[in-house]
Structure 1
Amino acid sequence: MTWETIPQMVLSAADRFGNAEAVVDGAQRLSFIELADRVRRAAGAFAGAGIEKGDRAAIWAPNSVEWIIAAFGLVTAGGVLVPINTRFKAEEAADVVRRSGAQLLLVQQGFLGTQYTGPQGVPVIDLASDFLADGEPVEPTMTGTDIADIIYTSGTTGRPKGVMMNHRQTLRLYSEWCDLADLRQGDRYLIVNPFFHTFGYKAGLISSLIRGATILPVPVFEIERVLELVERERVTMLPGPPTLYHALLDAPDTYDLSSLRAAVTGAADIPVELIRRVKTELPFQSIMTGYGLTEAGTATASRPGDTFEQIATTVGTPCDGVQVRIAEDDEVLVRGYSVMQGYFDDPVATAEAVDAEGWLHTGDLGSLDPDGRLQIIGRKKDMFIVGGFNAYPAEIEAFLLEHPAVAQVAVVGVPDDRLGQVGRAFVVANNPVSEAELIAWSRDRMAGFKAPRSVWFLDELPLNATGKVMKDQLRQLRSLDIEESQ
């Protein structure tokens, strides 16, 4: 079955799956029929608040049934969804709200003790209020080529850019994703990946409603909570970063995990032994790895029959309708229907990212094996991944340079046993400041995963002939016996 728009697909789930459970969130249990009704009413609420076709609204909140209803209600009203990272501080979120032109900001007040505020002039609505239930049901009127969402991602300049995707490309790609990931009707899908991310929203919510899987949102990753839900709710589908599977393997064997069937993960470097242990020590029958980015969704994926080593060391072959090639400088290029419609209100950045032949320049470095499997060998943009979250050095460096004692700074990712990688800042100071002070200052101003976990002070940064910092030399410093000065 094909749909032109996301609302058509979401609302049709009522007819396709009826009284089966659509969402389980604590004490709240909604059938597909009930979810469709709530979405229609939410659409009416957005329409009543002045949202018209093409208008943007932002959601800055954790995974929950209210997030689901708000997001699909918004797009059903013809609006464009702008999800915001819950780890963002107020200034970071306000920047996204302002530049996206969002007319409303929906939040969950009190989450992790935070009172969420938006920029001046943008109404803030608490998801716990009656707003979503107050509208008169409306029906969608958009087309498949209309923009459905703008998901902001950071680039090497540190300035977040809004990736525009339309309804049709999203539905086509994640219909295929359901097959690749072995997502089935009746599956119980524990969604650890945040809804503000493509993985959580599209490979999570949209895929579940395409296939008829029950959604179980997890607002904060806590392994004990995950284990309890897997056992009590008989979870079958559990995607997540490699750190999730490390945690499952280290968990006490008192929990019944026998319902688990399908795993999906992805990272540049996954130990072969981890994949082997997941397959042999846990109940999973299928494991998929893949390569994706906000600008193109899931571009490649492993296939059934791939070996442990192929699953761990490559990210599979291109999805249907997607081409991948390696440029002369080893950059991974992607072309096809799933490539973004562009960066919102940023034609210059769009032209820099997508060339005249339609190839998206990913900024990642890679190679293709003889069978066409993609291997990611590095990150051209120096991005590193902290517990599943992308961290961009240029953005972190821009924040650190605002500190009066920091004259120069370069940030690199270094290995971490628990999170995979964390940031280390190499600082040239012009006034006395300690490592602890800089880390605390950073945590007050940026999301926790971005804040550096260590600071090394240097007399000067290594520069090349053009004045650029040679970060490869900084990465090598960690293996040298040098003293960390405070």
Structure 2
Amino acid sequence: MNWQTIPEMVLSSGDRFGDAEAVVDGDLRITFTDLTDRIRRAAGAFAGAGIRKGDRVAIWGPNSAEWAIAAFGLLTAGGVLVPINTRYRENEASDIIRRSGAKAVLVEKGFLGQDFTVTEPVPVFDLKSDFLSSGEPFEVSVLAEDIADIMYTSGTTGRPKGVMMNHKQTLRMFSEWCDLADLRQGDRYMIVNPFFHMFGYKAGLIASMIRGATILPIPVLDVDRVLELVEREKVTMLPGPPTLYQSLLTSPTTHDISSLRAAVTGSADIPVELIRRISKELPFETIMTGYGLSEGGTATASRRGDTFEQIATTVGKPCDGIEIRIADDSEVLIRGYNVMQGYLDDPHGTAEAIDDDGWLHTGDLGTLDDEGRLRIVGRKKDMFIVGGFNAYPAEIEGFLLEHPAVDQVAVIGVPDDRLGQVGKAFVVSGNPVPADDLIAWSRDRMAGFKAPRFVEYLDALPLGATGKVMKDQLR
């Protein structure tokens, strides 16, 4: 299909998939025909609330059928989607609402004990109210090059920036993603990745609408609930962070999870043994890893036939129409149709991120092997210098994960009077060994400057809503 816009693709799903289930959310079961009707009515509700073409609207709520209807209804009304992290507090969310110029906000009161109070003087609608069903069917003509969404970066490197992407690049990128991830018509796709993030919204909702897969939104990751739903709903597609699959492997279960077919994950530090265990001990037939970022979407992906080691230690090869280059300082550069349209109201930041030749500077450090597979070795900001030598946390974490006592690990640089900085490892372990033993083991397996000088055991690593370790909290 040669759709030009997300609403065009989404609204065609009623004709393409008819009475097949589009969304299953608790007791709510919606067919594709019904979903497109609800989306058109939501578009009318936005128009009735004064939202015009190009206006921005924020959604601040967990994964739900209403989130999907609101997002696609907004785009159908010609609006621009601004998703907000559900873990954000009032002042963080208000900062994004204000800087994005949002004309309205949709919230779900009470999620995770939050009121989702908005201090900005804009209309606020509850996702669970009758607002979305209150309009007459409506749609506005939009163009392929119109901005479809403004997704704010996670803010781990400072104040979040608003990344602008248009309709056409999103459709091209995630149509290819469907092929690479083996998403098929009729699949039952449990979406644990949050909708406010590219992985949940684009590789989740949009991909499902492209393919005709049933969406099962999960607002909070609870492994027992996941297992129960996999059995009851015969889930076939279950992407998520490596921690999701580790939890499935370690969770004692009597549930039938034999329906699971396709796994998708991504991280700089997946143990090869984890990929092997996912393949051998869980029913998945395909496992894809990839590399992406808000500013460039999904840029690389593994391919069917890749070995366990290739899937675990690299993030695959560039997707169609995308170039990858490694700069002299080892930074990963990306060029292609997928690169963002810029940061909202930030020409200086945009110019810093995208050079005159169109290369996006990712801030990630990497290498390319002889076959063009990308390996991520760390973040420029995470790198620390030990006595003049560059130390990359992701590489050190990969070594440490080979120790049987290390279930999860995060490494940071800490000040040292003699060497400037040295490594400190934060370890989660179900069977810990003395810190000195782990340090001695490390020194036998990696260069002295890489081996951590300190080890601290934690019950859990601080994780963001997308499963990423929040190293700023460790610091």
TM range (shorter): 0.7 to 0.9
Q: Which residue of 2 aligns with 1:290?
A: 290
Identity %: 68
**Greater shift in the superposed pair: 107-116 or 61-70:** 107-116
Distance change (3 Å), C-alpha of 1:421 and 1:144: farther
Report SS of the residue matched to 1:50. coil
In structure 1, what is the Cα distance between the partners aligned to 2:328 and 2:293?
A: 21
In structure 1, what is the Cα distance between the partners aligned to 2:420 and 2:93?
A: 31
Post-superposition CA distance 1:425-464 (Å, at most 9, x none)? 97xxxxxxxxxxxxxxxxxxxxxxxxxxxxxxxxxx5599
In structure 2, what is the Cα distance between the partners aligned to 1:38 and 1:425?
A: 51
In structure 1, what is the Cα distance between the partners aligned to 2:456 and 2:273?
A: 34
Distance change (3 Å), C-alpha of 1:424 and 1:88: farther
Q: Which residue of 2 aligns with 1:480?
A: 453
Q: Which residue of 1 aligns with 2:96?
A: 96
**Greater shift in the superposed pair: 98-107 or 473-482:** 473-482
Q: Which residue of 2 aligns with 1:28?
A: 28
1:50 matches 2:23: no
In structure 2, what is the Cα distance between the partners aligned to 1:420 and 1:142?
A: 46
- Deviation of the 1:120 alpha carbon: 2.9
**Residue identity opposite 1:79 in structure 2:** G
Distance change (3 Å), C-alpha of 1:477 and 1:366: closer
Q: What aligned pairs does 1:3-14 form with structure 2 within 5 A after superposition?
A: 3-14=3-14
In structure 1, what is the Cα distance between the partners aligned to 2:108 and 2:226?
A: 21
**Residue identity opposite 2:147 in structure 1:** I
**Residue identity opposite 1:318 in structure 2:** P
**Residue identity opposite 1:181 in structure 2:** A
Q: Which residue of 2 aligns with 1:16?
A: 16
In structure 1, what is the Cα distance between the partners aligned to 2:206 and 2:417?
A: 46
In structure 1, what is the Cα distance between the partners aligned to 2:292 and 2:72?
A: 23
In structure 2, what is the Cα distance between the partners aligned to 1:109 and 1:325?
A: 45
Distance change (3 Å), C-alpha of 1:54 and 1:375: same
**Residue identity opposite 1:268 in structure 2:** A
Report SS of the residue matched to 2:320. coil
Q: Under a length normalisation based on structure 1, what TM-score does the superposition of the two structures give?
A: 0.82
Post-superposition CA distance 1:371-411 (Å, at most 9, x none)? 0000001111329xxxxxxxxxxxxxxxxxxxxxxxxxxxx
Q: Which residue of 1 aligns with 2:108?
A: 108
The answer (yes or no) to whether the contact 1:243–1:419 under 8 Å persists in 2 is no
Q: What aligned pairs does 1:336-485 form with structure 2 within 5 A after superposition?
A: 336-382=336-382, 420=408, 461=415, 472=422, 479-480=452-453
Distance change (3 Å), C-alpha of 1:7 and 1:480: same
In structure 2, what is the Cα distance between the partners aligned to 1:4 and 1:28?
A: 30
1:118 matches 2:118: yes
**Residue identity opposite 2:337 in structure 1:** Y
Report SS of the residue matched to 1:202. helix
- Deviation of the 1:140 alpha carbon: 2.9
**Residue identity opposite 2:201 in structure 1:** Y
Distance change (3 Å), C-alpha of 1:88 and 1:156: closer
1:211 matches 2:211: yes
Q: Which residue of 1 aligns with 2:221?
A: 221
The answer (yes or no) to whether the contact 1:97–1:119 under 8 Å persists in 2 is no
Count residues with an aligned counterpart: 419
Q: Which residue of 2 aligns with 1:402?
A: none
**Residue identity opposite 1:295 in structure 2:** E
Q: Which residue of 1 aligns with 2:261?
A: 261
Q: Which residue of 2 aligns with 1:236?
A: 236
Q: Which residue of 2 aligns with 1:168?
A: 168
Post-superposition CA distance 1:106-141 (Å, at most 9, x none)? 100011121111123122211111110001111231
- Deviation of the 1:99 alpha carbon: 0.4
The answer (yes or no) to whether the contact 2:191–2:239 under 8 Å persists in 1 is yes
Distance change (3 Å), C-alpha of 1:227 and 1:471: farther
Q: Which residue of 1 aligns with 2:468?
A: none
**Greater shift in the superposed pair: 369-378 or 413-422:** 413-422
**Residue identity opposite 1:480 in structure 2:** R
Q: Which residue of 2 aligns with 1:190?
A: 190
Distance change (3 Å), C-alpha of 1:321 and 1:470: farther
In structure 2, what is the Cα distance between the partners aligned to 1:364 and 1:224?
A: 35
Distance change (3 Å), C-alpha of 1:259 and 1:154: closer
Q: Which residue of 2 aligns with 1:144?
A: 144
Distance change (3 Å), C-alpha of 1:57 and 1:478: farther
The answer (yes or no) to whether the contact 1:188–1:216 under 8 Å persists in 2 is yes
Distance change (3 Å), C-alpha of 1:48 and 1:483: closer
In structure 1, what is the Cα distance between the partners aligned to 2:379 and 2:454?
A: 26
Distance change (3 Å), C-alpha of 1:319 and 1:471: farther
- Deviation of the 1:471 alpha carbon: 5.4
The answer (yes or no) to whether the contact 1:462–1:473 under 8 Å persists in 2 is no
Q: Which residue of 1 aligns with 2:281?
A: 281
Post-superposition CA distance 1:5-60 (Å, at most 9, x none)? 00000000000000000000000000000000000000001111111111100001
Report SS of the residue matched to 2:12. helix
Q: Which residue of 2 aligns with 1:63?
A: 63
